[in-house]
Structure 1
């Protein structure tokens, strides 16, 4: 009788090579572990190939188009001849290809074993890939997410998701964006800059409904000024399509027509038919349930990234991957709550936030325990030079630390690093007021907001 082949064994076996998975793998080899990394598509996952990187490349092209249109305001005479979408795609693909080459080279150089194919959990310590079993003393589930749709709303033809939107070889004359969250407002912003007549349909009462009310107000005002139309507070009912376009109907009977419908209603976890539940892992609405240290409660199985309930951000998955590798190594890494993870929405104007909104802070700490300060970017020299408006809003506990920073304006995402440090280190406005912010920078505006909240506004 033939002997059964012994499965190749690793200290840590990671299922999924996106942000969370490859970060776990890289940190694990730094810590001396042997690592196997299973990936059915390309290393880098959604973020590199269909999300963060390609969409930001499009947004940069959109920014340049806007600069060309507005250049005469700055004494530069430039004419915009149009948008060459195939050249934009080539630029985007070049960025992605370069980053992919760098990542694959790094993974190889670090001695991580990449196992190509679709993996399935077939036990508490085994993943099967293309009929071959691989064992891991520790398993990290990192299978990521996919573009959701709505029940009964099929993707196809003129009804697309962000995946197809990034590969269009034409610029539509008009588009309806279903969903006013991060993905929806980013694509609406790009398309408007490309000359598309855009309408956002959002069932909740406002765009970006998870943001602070002051930020929402500023974004909606800016979008109206840019000519981006939106309909909020009424839910989607159905869509009809033909060779000419789509007709979207809302539950109140309103209809909208355009060439395309972009479905941007969020992302769902990739966990179905992967053997998770059979192995004893708890699944709730598709998400893997873990404790606060990302352990599933089954064997030595952990989960990271978009399959774990919470904010779906590449850098959250990246941080969780590092966390799990260090947890397995017994280093007792610090838990970072989702609320204290920085978030950036890269539409124009950009939104950058960390910590509690004013509403959430009052719910947690009490209405009379919260103080806020808004700083208008109109008072900031560099913002005036860039021609941007917006605000920075700081939320603090009275006589206590800053618990939230919320910003909107051109390039505000570049300010989120300091804001994250302020919130996560529980700094008081009086502490931040002592920092020196270079002049002239937009970063000064963050300092001015804290000066004002500390009771000594420089220009107030």
Structure 2
């Protein structure tokens, strides 16, 4: 059945998103998957006057909108409100946190998602160049996608089928005691205690939310540190902050087994240590959705479930591209957006610049936040040589707005000697909002002196980024060089 969106700003603006097309309908671009990468490709291709078929078996917007970025950040904001209420007296405001109403939290979260979903439906539905197909698609020819018995031929094909929440062998995810992030987003209660298996982005974000909601949380991570993909100093700063918040974590401790108990679960980790809790959240990353979709049968090369592409996102099968979480690399919505735009422009003959993976900003939205772009100190030393790398850490304690917010942390710059800044790493409340300028600094290969001459508004945390570059340029104002 077609579904439609009514624009609340108009009494008669309603668009049909799903339409019936005859067999063998031909399009300039057929896109399999309507998540971040897929719908971005569709919208940009439509702008470039290409005829597009966008095929999605679930809801337009995919994981990010419905089971990832948006709902998790809504939970994190609710958690911030809880912490602010609990700690309000230090700001001279007397308030009492009575408790967490999960029905209310979920209503708020779902409302945010619903509004964005309707807006996205409107964008896609209002385009005369996009045919939205609601159905399960499969690649049945090098330029043909079949969806619910109908075939859609594309002069170009874009594979954008997204990812799913991974598990581990021996884990029986039941959605009640042993859950994934999908289940955690719809919990109707605040568990008394939780074990989080995985100390990456998903794991630390949920641990942060639950701690703010009053849950006794323990993170188990097989790698030597939390958020191990980030710069080591950022990881260590997060670990210190989590200890202060009384979020327990055990790193370098691989998972061995889990048993269900009358009260919940009992998890055994390396060394025979056991931990008990009401629920176990499996947060060991996300896997690519590529199985049984006909990719390999049509000659698309797959490695451990991921679609292999060149730097221009071509799969090796003529006119077949892949974007988003199915392509090896960072699984981030904004990476998918950019890849979708890139592929649309590539198909249209615009010859877009190749995306620099290191230049994609990364933000972990726990408390405190972590934000970074470019190379870690370790990667920079590996690439340029240890003797060529210089770093500088600016303590947010010297920043006026950070003092107002009562946050601690730092901004770390990684620079090639007598050259540009090749990495920016930040820890602290709301530092994710600073990543825009940091991204420009890295991608434009800016030198510290060039950034130092820019005027940063006072008092803002953004000012701290300017201060760090002043210090690295040898003319610190509120910091030591």
- Do 2:313 and 2:322's aligned partners in 1 also have CA atoms closer than 8 Å? yes
2:417 counterpart of 1:398: yes
2:460 counterpart of 1:441: yes
Partner of 1:232: 251
Partner of 2:114: 97
Q: Which runs of 5+ in 2 are unaligned?
A: 1-21
2:147 counterpart of 1:129: yes
Q: Which runs of 5+ in 1 are unaligned?
A: none
- Do 2:197 and 2:219's aligned partners in 1 also have CA atoms closer than 8 Å? yes
TM-score normalised by structure 2 residue count: 0.94
Please give the secondary structure, in 2, of the residue aligned with 1:389.
Answer: coil
- Do 2:391 and 2:412's aligned partners in 1 also have CA atoms closer than 8 Å? yes
Instruction: Kindly provide the CA deviation profile for residues 227-272 of structure 1, in whole angstroms up to 9, marking residues without a partner as x.
Output: 1000001100010013410000012111110000000000000000
Aligned residues: 456
Q: CA deviation at 1:154?
A: 2.0
Partner of 2:4: none
- For 1:5-16, list aligned pairs within 5 A: 6-16=23-33
Q: How many Å separate the matches in 1 of 2:23 and 2:368?
A: 56
1:150 to 162, 165, 168: 168
- Do 2:42 and 2:344's aligned partners in 1 also have CA atoms closer than 8 Å? yes
2:361 to 342, 349, 364: 342
- For 1:380-395, list aligned pairs within 5 A: 380-395=399-414
Q: CA deviation at 1:27?
A: 0.1
Q: CA deviation at 1:6?
A: 4.8
2:206 to 182, 187, 211: 187
2:312 counterpart of 1:302: no
Partner of 2:92: 75
2:44 to 22, 27, 34: 27
- For 1:204-243, list aligned pairs within 5 A: 204-243=223-262
The runs of at least 4 consecutive aligned structure 1 residues that moved more than 4 Å come to none
TM-score normalised by structure 1 residue count: 0.98
Please give the secondary structure, in 2, of the residue aligned with 1:122.
Answer: strand
Q: How many Å separate the matches in 1 of 2:290 and 2:373?
A: 29
Instruction: Kindly provide the CA deviation profile for residues 311-351 of structure 1, in whole angstroms up to 9, marking residues without a partner as x.
Output: 00000000000000000111111112211100000000000
- Please identify, of 72-81 and 242-251, the stretch whose mean Cα deviation from structure 2 is larger: 242-251
Q: CA RMSD in A?
A: 0.7
Partner of 2:70: 53
Instruction: Kindly provide the CA deviation profile for residues 13-57 of structure 1, in whole angstroms up to 9, marking residues without a partner as x.
Output: 000000000000000000010000000000000000000000000
Please give the secondary structure, in 1, of the residue aligned with 2:226.
Answer: coil
- For 1:272-421, list aligned pairs within 5 A: 272-421=291-440
- For 1:150-169, list aligned pairs within 5 A: 150-156=168-174, 157-169=176-188
Q: CA deviation at 1:74?
A: 0.3
2:34 to 8, 14, 17: 17
Q: How many Å separate the matches in 2 of 1:6 and 1:272?
A: 25
Q: How many Å separate the matches in 1 of 2:317 and 2:170?
A: 35
